């Protein structure tokens, strides 16, 4: 009897070995395919950027843009982030900071730094939001406004900003982010190519270890914290061959909430940002795909690699774990709420390629990873799996992660070379090794918890993230003659 049970267990393990092997091989093939597409896109984008910057700085055709900055308990970073937006190189734009019922001194530091004065709110709301208590305009910078509203979450804050926006395009920017000066000029380029472009996203990089003063990126550095270093590799992988690879297929499902440009009327027609979700940025993009594909409307959602937004990443396990659980829950919410796009007859590349890949490898990936590691370990300890086969499984998982991260770093070096010193690359190579030994497995556990939370129907919240703000130097916004 025992021998029969043992034989049955060994047979199940053998079948699962082939299942997991097929899964990892398919995942590797898809991601490497995206990597190849990314290389082609980067080459084309580099040529386009060179042509643009070799001619006049402004074409005269750039539409005005409303910058929306939702802020909740961002007193540490909001002045520096707002200052960075004030020095962007762009013909015409406005900045709207939305204080979403912060409990800290966010509104106070804004009032003191930018000499705010109250003005009457005469904007007719097109999207329903929590009440706006007051509106302010800066005496020093006429294109800077601040909305003070009751807390309603990030999506609600962005909808309030859309209501207040005066211009046809709006750019959503996180309150802890800093844009490079040419970022707007570069991210708007697809909108000049045709009216079918409804959204564009840029690259997000980590500000940890950098030096920012008065909103200017003074120097690019490497963080001392190893968690932040590993996240640099993650961000490179996510943006340089994740989103860039989907762009030529018009199948990008995520535009980062830290930096995305949208047509205002298109978003209003779609109902604005959805309330009660964690991943409001991804959910909006997937919904735009669903609405336009099912209605057979011509549209494009694109990724532009060279507009860069710098943001702070968590440097402690607790904050990072909370962030990854929220991201996973938001991912599943976004896919579930727009599930009719999956394999729809009009779904195109978003519904037939990007959606199933995102669901299989990002949504269910934590289950495959966590269960795979646990099952193979138990099988080895029980003697149902040889040591050689167990080590081969671990080596394969390690090699796949190493290959994908190394490819992203190589793509970064060959195309943008953001990190100027050889020692930076050496540190990132070591971070790639550390990512696949412990960190990746821990991240899989965090993501699986987020998946369970979604399955249980736990409501998402826009929580506060622990920030150091150490990369921002004291701001001196009161000096006259701000360079725009």
Residue 10 located in a structural domain? no
Residue 116 located in a structural domain? no
What is the number of helices (H) and of strands (E) in the chain? Answer: 17, 12
Residue 437 located in a structural domain? no
Scanning the structure block, which residue is given the tokens 């092997």?
Answer: 21
The partner residues of 66 in beta bridges, in order of sequence, read 94, 170
**Contact predicate 175/81, CB 8 Å:** yes
Question: Under 8 Å CB-to-CB from 146, ≥6 apart: which residues?
Answer: 96, 97, 98, 99, 107, 110, 111, 114, 116, 135, 136, 137, 138
pLDDT over 70 percentage in the chain: 88
**How many angstroms separate the CA atoms of 140 and 414, rounded?**
42
**How many angstroms separate the CA atoms of 479 and 460, rounded?**
41
Please report which helix (H) or strand (E) contains residue 326, including its range: helix 317-337
- pLDDT value at position 176? 78
pLDDT digits (tens, 9 = 90+) for 368-407: 888 877 777 877 787 777 777 777 777 877 887 888 888 8
Question: Under 8 Å CB-to-CB from 118, ≥6 apart: which residues?
Answer: 134, 135, 136
Structure pTM? 0.89
In 3D space, the residue among 71, 233, 67 whose CA is nearest the CA of residue 162 turns out to be 67
Question: Under 8 Å CB-to-CB from 117, ≥6 apart: which residues?
Answer: 136, 137, 138, 139
**How many angstroms separate the CA atoms of 47 and 34, rounded?**
20
In 3D space, the residue among 305, 364, 341 whose CA is nearest the CA of residue 47 turns out to be 305
Residue 290 located in a structural domain? yes
**How many angstroms separate the CA atoms of 24 and 372, rounded?**
11
Q: Where does the pLDDT of residue 199 fall: very low under 50, low under 70, confident under 90, or very high at 90 and above?
A: very high
**How many angstroms separate the CA atoms of 162 and 154, rounded?**
12
CATH number at residue 196: 3.90.550
Q: At 436, is the secondary structure helix, strand, or coil?
A: helix
Residue 421 located in a structural domain? no
Listed range (79-83, 308-312, 372-376, 468-472) with the worst mean pLDDT:
468-472
Q: What is the pLDDT averaged over residues 168-193? A: 91
Q: What is the pLDDT averaged over residues 41-58? A: 60
Range of the domain at 301: 28-63+168-360
Residue 4 located in a structural domain? no
DSSP 62: P
CA distances from 96 to 5, 68, 171, 316 (A): 66, 5, 10, 31
Q: At 241, is the secondary structure helix, strand, or coil?
A: helix
- pLDDT value at position 472? 57
**Contact predicate 71/153, CB 8 Å:** no
Residue 189 located in a structural domain? yes
Q: How many domains does the chain have?
A: 1
Residue 406 located in a structural domain? no
Q: At 103, is the secondary structure helix, strand, or coil?
A: coil
């Amino acid at each position: 009897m025992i021998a029969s049970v043992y034989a049955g267990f060994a047979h199940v393990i053998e079948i699962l070995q082939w299942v997991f092997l097929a899964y990892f091989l398919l995942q590797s093939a898809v991601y490497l395919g995206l990597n190849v597409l990314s290389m082609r896109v980067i080459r084309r984008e580099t040529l386009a950027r060179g042509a643009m910057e070799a001619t006049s700085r402004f074409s005269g055709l750039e539409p005005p843009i409303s910058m929306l900055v939702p802020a909740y308990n961002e007193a540490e970073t909001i002045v520096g982030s707002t200052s960075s937006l004030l020095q962007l190189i762009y013909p015409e734009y406005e900045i709207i900071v939305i204080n979403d019922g912060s409990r800290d001194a966010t509104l106070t530091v804004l009032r003191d730094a930018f000499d705010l004065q109250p003005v009457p709110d005469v904007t007719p709301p097109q999207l329903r939001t929590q009440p706006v208590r007051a509106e302010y305009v800066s005496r020093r910078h006429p294109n800077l406004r601040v909305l003070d509203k009751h807390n309603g979450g990030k999506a609600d804050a962005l909808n309030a900003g859309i209501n207040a926006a005066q211009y046809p395009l709006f750019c959503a920017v996180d309150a802890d982010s800093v844009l490079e000066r040419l970022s707007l000029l570069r991210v708007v380029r697809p909108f000049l190519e045709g009216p079918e472009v409804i959204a564009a996203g840029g690259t997000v990089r980590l500000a940890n270890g950098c030096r920012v003063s008065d909103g200017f990126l003074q120097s690019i550095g490497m963080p001392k914290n190893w968690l932040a270093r590993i996240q640099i590799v993650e961000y490179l992988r996510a943006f340089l061959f994740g989103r860039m690879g989907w762009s030529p297929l018009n199948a990008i499902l995520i535009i980062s909430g830290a930096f995305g440009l949208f047509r205002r009327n298109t978003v209003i027609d779609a109902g604005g940002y959805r309330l009660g979700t964690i991943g409001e940025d991804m959910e909006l993009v997937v919904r735009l795909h669903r609405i336009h594909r099912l209605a057979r409307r011509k549209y494009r959602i694109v990724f532009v690699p060279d507009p860069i937004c710098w943001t702070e990443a968590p440097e402690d396990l607790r904050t990072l774990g909370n962030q990854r659980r929220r991201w996973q829950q938001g991912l599943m919410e976004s896919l579930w709420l727009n599930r009719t796009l999956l394999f729809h007859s009009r779904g195109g590349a978003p519904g037939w390629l990007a959606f199933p890949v995102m669901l299989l490898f990002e949504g269910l990936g934590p289950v495959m990873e966590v269960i795979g590691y646990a099952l193979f370990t138990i099988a080895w300890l029980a003697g149902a799996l040889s040591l050689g086969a167990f080590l081969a499984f671990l080596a394969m998982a390690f090699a796949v992660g190493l290959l994908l991260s190394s490819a992203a770093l190589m793509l970064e070096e060959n195309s943008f070379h953001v990190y100027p010193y050889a020692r930076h690359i050496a540190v990132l190579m070591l971070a790639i090794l550390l990512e696949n030994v412990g960190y990746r497995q821990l991240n899989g556990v965090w993501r699986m918890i987020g998946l369970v939370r979604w399955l249980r129907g736990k409501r998402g919240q826009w929580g506060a993230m622990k920030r150091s703000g150490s990369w921002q130097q004291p701001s001196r916004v009161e000096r006259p003659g701000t360079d725009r």
